[in-house]
Structure 1
Amino acid sequence: MERSRSRRPSPATQKSFTFTGLKPGTKYYAKVTYAYTTPSGSYDSYVGSNEFASRVVTPTGVKQTKWWYYAKSVEFTWDKQEAADKVEYKVCKVSNGKTFAKDSVAYPSQQFSVSKVKNNVMYTVQMRVHDQWGWSGWSKKAYLFTQPMVNAKKTKVKGNKLTVTWGKIKGATSYTVYVSTKEKKGYKKLATVKSSKSSVTLKKLKGKKFSPKKNYYVYVVANKKVGKTTYTSGKHYSYKVKGARGQLRWTFD
């Protein structure tokens, strides 16, 4: 809730005021007082107050936040407009454009989730919002897809080089590989490759060759470029490479 203010007092004869520069889809609180002067001094007196809201607009900031690979569930969020009384979303398959899931929520939430998604399928999501004046337009499409899973048998350190192999995501346009010597921090982007590739061999991390005696943490992010916008699967799972044995232990955020 924001408070609306005029920058200067209005004349005593004025019976209305128009606020400008309001943030769309936002609730405001307005209070009216009047000033008067007597021989003993100047005073303010309360007239009344009320809440009002600016109109909602087409949603922005729609994006994926998490894809739970094993639970087969995806979460997405948006730039919430508190003045909305309903939010509607539709999730469609990219391959055929058919609606996979659709729902209208009476109490607007910041985050939504859709279950029973398929890990090898790419989806789009669009949202619109409703207020007392009606529905907004649909947001532009945001893309939803899982993070690539690292192949445990083919990811290993051998001959001072780290080879990372992953499963492809249908519809991705590229993959980015990150590596660190620590589980929770220090990840460096070491390679971005085309969607035709599902592995990469890395020679150095922070200027040092890889060692079969050290442990490394790796994860791969899938990217989908549409026009000038790039959507990503984000990081949820990371994997610990145990030396040269190629054994992995996954952790997640």
Structure 2
Amino acid sequence: MIKKGKKLSMMLLTAMILAAGSVGTVAGTGAKQVQAAENAYYYVSLGNLQQTAMTKNSASITWEQTYASSMNTLTTEGYNIYLGESYSDMKLVGKSKTPSYTLTGLKDGKRYNVRVEAYTSNGTKTSSPVSGQVETIPAAVHNFRQERWWYFINKLEVTWDKVETADRVEVTLYNSKGRRVGKTQKLNSYAYSAYFDKMKDEVYTVTIQAFKTVNGKTYATPKAKIQCFNQARIKETSIKVKKGSLSFQWGKVGGASGYDVYISTKPKKGYKKVKSVGKNTTKLTIRKFKGKKINPKKTYYMYVETKKKNGSKVNKSGRLYYWNTKSKNFGYF
């Protein structure tokens, strides 16, 4: 039986041992004692991060431990792998027991930032991780579209989502007869738009394709194709407002399958489609707008959008210009 004074001393000794993080055996007490926690030491450096393989949605990497301190009392348990499209959004995506890993579920044609850090069995992490970048092979050119067509300078702009890992992007223009117009534009991976001059009032086809060479093998995306055409131009001299009616005409766009006519009482908002007409109609008379007779004292704004039917899909020119009944001039959206 332990006396009260000795029992108190034993409790104090045990508390001191636990607070110090000691281990081992204290003679005569049965308490375990370990090396003090503050004496644990771990420092390694990682380096030589390399991408060893890539597909359209995965990337394989390897790395090396380039330095380990002779003072280490802890050993490497495994590696944390972080991934992000920028360094500010890096997230832990996996762990590995060996110095290699395959990242999956990636977007095609993208470049990612990677960081690898070593850790021990108690969770201690190295203060010298390794960082680098990985790439995936482009599978397609995404969001290819007609951005705008400047009628008065006869210029077309097409845009797409940048293909970060492409070696080059090729863009080609064809006229309504299927003949190539000019040379194919060969652009680098930083490009996300292309321009064409001297455009005519007809329906054009534009194709785009991205290329990536890996270990001597060239990968090409399927050709993406869009049809491009001008917004129909309203003829200023044709705009007439009489009591109870508004009439105007527009120029025919070759290859178009029809037109949608929009009107508003404000220049840049509030437009309502008042009529859809076929390809052979290029003039219109409106007698009512939003249920009310046309008022010659009001200013009305209008534009005509060109349409082209392509199978079950209908492509539209979009809008860049509007005209008004007061000055009969055009403005820009």
Question: Is 1:169 equivalent to 2:250 in the alignment?
Answer: no
Q: Which residue of 1 aligns with 2:135?
A: 53
What CA distance in whole angstroms lies between the structure 2 residues aligned with 1:54 and 1:66?
31
CA displacement at 1:194 relative to structure 2: 1.2
Is 1:129 aligned with 2:213?
Answer: no
Closer/same/farther in 2, CA of residues 52 and 8 from structure 1, 3 Å limit: closer
Structure 1 position 19, deviation (Å): 1.4
Q: What runs of 5+ residues in structure 2 fail to find an aligned partner?
A: 1-83
SS at match of 1:42: coil
Deviations 1:163-192 (A, max 9, x none): 232111111111011111111221111111
Deviations 1:138-187 (A, max 9, x none): 43321111111112233322341222321111111110111111112211
Within 2, Cα distance between the matches of 1:228 and 1:19? 39
* Contact 1:67–1:146 (Cα < 8 Å) also in 2: yes
User: Following the alignment from structure 1 to structure 2, what is the Cα–Cα distance between the partners of residues 80 and 251?
Assistant: 31
Q: Which residue of 1 aligns with 2:105?
A: 21
Equivalents in 2 of 1:161, 1:21: separation in Å? 59
CA RMSD of aligned residues (A): 2.0
Gaps of 5+ in 1: none
CA distance in 2, matches of 1:175, 1:185: 20
Q: What is the match of residue 181 of structure 2?
A: 100
8 A Cα contact 2:163 2:189, kept in partner: no
Q: Take 2:111 and 2:239, find their aligned partners in 1: how far apart are those partners?
A: 53
1:35 aligns with 2:35: no
Q: Which has the higher contact order (CA 8 A, sep 6+)?
A: 1
Q: How far is 1:221 from its partner?
A: 0.6
Aligned match for 1:143, one of 206, 227, 236: 227
Q: Which amino acid aligns with 1:216?
A: Y
Change (3 A) 1:186 1:99: same
Question: Distance between the aligned counterparts of 2:187 and 2:123, measured in 1?
Answer: 51
Q: Indicate if the aligned counterparts of 1:85 and 1:108 stay in contact, CA closer than 8 A.
A: no
Match of 1:75, SS? strand
- Please state which structure has a larger fraction of its residues in helix: 2
Aligned residue pairs, count: 242
Q: What are the superposed Cα offsets for residues 3-58 of structure 1, whole Å, 9 maximum, x if unpaired?
A: 67554433x2x332221111111100111112104xxx531114422201111122
1:199 aligned onto 2:283 = yes
1:26 & 1:73 partners in 2: Cα distance? 31
Aligned mate of 1:64, from 146, 158, 166:
146
Paired-residue identity, %? 32
Moved over 4 A (4+): 3-6
Pick the structure with greater CA Rg. 2
Q: TM-score, length-normalised on structure 1? A: 0.88
